[in-house]
Structure 1
Amino acid sequence: MEEILIKNANKAVRNTGKQNLRSIHAKMAGKPRKADKRLQVISLLWNYAKDKLDWPIGDNPTKGIDHYGKQREFEPWPDWMIGKLSEAPDTVRTAAELILGTGQRPNAAISMEHRRFSGDWMEVLDEKGGEYFETYCPKDLRDYLSSRELKGKHVLAKNLTEPLGYDAVEKSFRRWRNNLGETAKPYVLHGLRKLAIIRLAEAGCTDAEIQAVTNQSPEMVAYYRKKASRKALSKAAQHRRT
């Protein structure tokens, strides 16, 4: 409600249109649960104003806009798709390197500033808590960033002061992914964060070590550790057949 108030306090409620709300919902597609919740809050406020306060504002404009609903699990990228990153556009590869190296959610990784990197260390954002915390920066990511030309204060820069933004990166990613064929279509940018966690688990990191990188809950760490363990066990089992 506070976000809605900040952006719309000086606007007339009756001018809110379905087309505008549909556009807002689509722009938030990268965070489908948040996008759906935005529509739900607007719907509740609209109904209260119309039915309880008797405001003459007409029909609820959120009616008929399809919600994203419950999302399927984001699958970690397969090795063959990671291998294709060397041929990807700079925007896509850089975003992928940032997500994999930092373990952050895509939006936070894509918005990173150069000042967040200092030698062997980096400051990453816990989006849920809204706070930065310091963690070790892997050498692969340090080497990749040092090979790129600085074009602004952000790693993925739109201009000297602004980041490129999630929507622009996601569109570039989808174009690249579509060229990889049907087998690539199930995978999204968020799957790289899952892969980062699984790689840490496969490397033998403890739950505490993984949490120090990703700042996730113990339950989420345990879930992805189980997934990593299953892969390792299946590999060992299949090798015994040969």
Structure 2
Amino acid sequence: MTRRPAKPRLEWKSVRGIETPRHRITWTENGKRRERVITLDWKGDLAELDRLYWLCERGEHPAQKPKAPATSWRALVVAWRSDPRVQKHLSDGTKISYRRTMDALLEKNADKDVRLTTRAHVRAIHDKLAATPRKADHHLQVIRLLWNYAKNKLDWPLGDNPAGGIDLYGTTREFLPWPEWMVEKLAEAPHDVRVACELILGTGQRPNAAIMMRHDDFSDEWMWVWDEKGKDRFQVYCPPRLRAFVASLRKHGAHLLAKNLTQGKGYDSVEKAFRTWRKTLGNAAQEYTLHGLRKLACIELAEGGAGDAEIQAVTGQSAKTVAYYRRLADKKKLSRSAQTKRERNKNET
């Protein structure tokens, strides 16, 4: 029989014939005796019992944590996600984007009271993400959205929106297509970074859609791609280079970027690994993002002579976006032609 350790406030009680340890504290409040008893699920392990006991002594046992208020951020996010009147108007891609940002907000704020959120709190979140302006702005927009929903739809007693009036970083320019030297560096990149980048460049998909690709999306010379905005999945031609790359990968699960046998890795973990790798390339690489590879795919297609409709069939980009990156490709082609004529004229005179 396991020897019971003797500790202050630790008692043993027989529950259905089994001796069960409990942590008991007592105090007097307004002349009345109060107590709190926490059953310790020690599983017959003295080390686990010791750990649980000291959690109670420090006031850190889960049972000792104060109950989250009804107006917590977690309660707000759950209510928003459960509202069919809101969700029916959102595309799958938008839902994924919102979920990613809301999950990030909940990591440190889930049990905090929405009513106590100040402008300083919101500005601190925005400023902390300054290195990734789009992500920072999206956090601000999501806080604004949730606050308005709580105030106007749930009738929570909230004041002015703390995210209102804070300036967005904004989009100063389109994503830059990667230079050739950086694409060549992919051969030395960590596995997850290289796989993600090869998929984005080869398929022309948005980074999140490319990262979620599965091995069974590829069949001979065809592959299935996902248009997040259009909520559409369709089959397109897989170029030989990408086909060979995918065939060279060892299978660790259903997904090319596998978290386990059935789940794939998420955008955030892959994008974080990408930023870590990008730092090793020096200052010249810092302005390029995963999205820039999709833009490079568009330019390479244009330089190869593909028409706008053909490019859209591959990348799913809007006509406006395709036109913008076609102009970049045309400028390169025209500048080469002009400079070649210039040199030819010099040599002939």
TM-score, length-scaled by structure 1: 0.83
Q: 2:235 aligns with which of 134, 138, 163?
A: 134
The answer (yes or no) to whether the contact 1:47–1:60 under 8 Å persists in 2 is no
Compared CA separation, residues 179 and 96, structure 1 to 2 (3 A): same
In 2: Cα distance, 1:229 partner to 1:214 partner: 18
> Matches of residues 69-108 of structure 1 in structure 2 within 5 Å?
69-108=170-209
Q: Which residue of the partner structure matches residue 40 of structure 1?
A: 144
Compared CA separation, residues 133 and 68, structure 1 to 2 (3 A): farther
Greater radius of gyration (CA): 2
In 2: Cα distance, 1:208 partner to 1:64 partner: 41
Shift of 1:43: 3.1
> Matches of residues 156-171 of structure 1 in structure 2 within 5 Å?
156-171=257-272
Compared CA separation, residues 217 and 49, structure 1 to 2 (3 A): closer
Q: Which residue of the partner structure matches residue 196 of structure 1?
A: 297
Identity %: 50
Q: Which residue of the partner structure matches residue 234 of structure 1?
A: 335
Q: Deviations over 1:166-215 (max 9, x none)?
A: 11111111111111111100000000000000000000001121111112
* Unpaired segments ≥5 residues, structure 1: none
Q: 1:5 aligns with which of 80, 103, 123?
A: 80
Q: Looking at both structures, which has the greater relative contact order when contacts are Cα pairs under 8 Å and sequence separation is at least 6?
A: 1
The answer (yes or no) to whether the contact 1:42–1:62 under 8 Å persists in 2 is no
> Residue 133 of structure 1 aligns to a residue in which SS?
strand
> Which is further off, 67-76 or 32-41?
32-41
Q: Work out whether 1:210 is the aligned partner of 2:311.
A: yes
> Which is further off, 224-233 or 210-219?
210-219
Q: Work out whether 1:124 is the aligned partner of 2:208.
A: no
What is the one-letter code of the residue matched to 1:83? E
The answer (yes or no) to whether the contact 2:77–2:146 under 8 Å persists in 1 is no
What is the one-letter code of the residue matched to 2:337? A
* Unpaired segments ≥5 residues, structure 2: 1-75, 85-109, 344-349
Compared CA separation, residues 209 and 187, structure 1 to 2 (3 A): same
Q: Work out whether 1:179 is the aligned partner of 2:280.
A: yes
Shift of 1:46: 4.0
> Residue 240 of structure 1 aligns to a residue in which SS?
helix
Corresponding residue pairs, total: 234
In 1: Cα distance, 2:182 partner to 2:82 partner: 40
What is the one-letter code of the residue matched to 1:112? M
The alignment's C-alpha RMSD in Å is 3.3
Shift of 1:30: 9.1
Shift of 1:69: 2.8
The answer (yes or no) to whether the contact 1:152–1:161 under 8 Å persists in 2 is yes
The answer (yes or no) to whether the contact 2:134–2:171 under 8 Å persists in 1 is no
Shift of 1:236: 2.2
